[in-house]
Structure 1
Amino acid sequence: MPDNFESFIQQHRDEFEGPGPSPRVWAALEKDLTEQRQGRVVQLLRKNWFKAAVIAVLMINAAAIFYFTGHKRHQQQELSAISPDLQEARTYYTTRINAKLQLIDAYPANELGLDSTARQELQLRNDTYKALEKELKNNPGNERIRAALIRYYQLKLDLLDKILEELQDRHAVPGHTKKQYEVEI
C-alpha cells in the first residue's frame, strides 16, 4: 500500500502543485480579517459612542473626587500631626467664623456694601491664611507662626463682629438671623 501511494503522488505531482487562489481571493480574505480584527468592542463603540463618553467622564470625575478628598484629608492630618493643640484652635475658630459668615450672607448683597474683593477677604481661607499655613508646614516648631495663625483667627472674628454690629445698626436684621444673633450674644 505505501508503494502505491508514493507512486500515485509522483504521477500526479503536477496536479498537487497548482497555482492556488487568485490574488483577488487573497485580497478579499485580508479585508475580512482586518474587519474581524477590529472586533466587537470597536463595532459596539461605533454604535454606542455617547454611552462610552459618559462612562469615561464619570470615571474621570470619580477619580478626581477621590484624589481631592484624599489630598484634603492628608493636609488636615498633616496639620494635626504638626500641632494637635493648633488643630483644636483651628476647629473652634473655623466653626465660629463660618457661623458669622452665614449671618452676614443672610443680608442682601446690595445692603452689605461690599465688593467682590472685600467678600473674598472675609472668607476664612484667603491669601493670608494660606501663607500662614504654608509657613507653619515649613517651620512646624516656630511659636511665632502659631501665634500669628491664632491671631489671624481672632482678628477675623473681631472684623466679622464689627461688620455684624454695623449691619444691625444700619439695617433691619432678617427674622431668622436676628434670633441666631441674639442667641449668640
Structure 2
Amino acid sequence: MGDQLEKFIMDNREAFDTATPTDKTWSKIDQRLTKKGSVWPSIWKVAAMLFMASTIFLMIDKNTDEKEGPILSEEFTQAEDYYVTLINQKRQAIKSQLTPEQHEQFLVEIDQLDSMYVELKKTYQTNASNDRVMDAMINNLQLRLDILNKQLDILENIKNQNNESDISIEI
C-alpha cells in the first residue's frame, strides 16, 4: 500500500505543487507558530544571561587570584613553620619567667622584627618572588630566634645568680 501511495504522489506531483493554501490556513499556522515559539526566545534569553553572569564571575575570580601574588615555595613554607614554632616556644618560655610588664619590655625588639617580617612578606608578594626578599625573611626569622635564645640565656644567668646568692646567704 505504501508503494501505491508513493507512485500516486509521484505521478500527480505537478498537481500538488500548483495548489496553494488559503489565507485562512496561513493565519492559523502563523498563530500556532507564535504561540509555541514564544517560550523558546525567553529560555534562550535566560540561558544567555546565566552564561554572561558565570563568565563575569569567573573573570573576577581569576583577577582576584592573580592579585594575591606569587606562592611561596614548599621548602620556604616548611622553614617558616619550623622557625615560627621555635620562636613561639621561646616566647612562651620567656613569658613564663617574667611578669607581664617585664615580658612586654623584653620582647620589644622581637615585636619590631615581627612588623618588619610582615613588611617583607608584602614586598615579596608585590616583587614577584624576589630571592633577596625571601633570604631577608629567613634572616629575620633566624635573628628573632637568636635574640630569644640570648634573652633566655640572660634569664637563666640571672636565675642562677639569684640561686647562688641564696645559697651563700644560708650558709
For Structure 1 versus Structure 2, the TM-score category normalised by the shorter chain is: 0.3 to 0.5
TM-score (norm 2): 0.47
TM-score (norm 1): 0.44
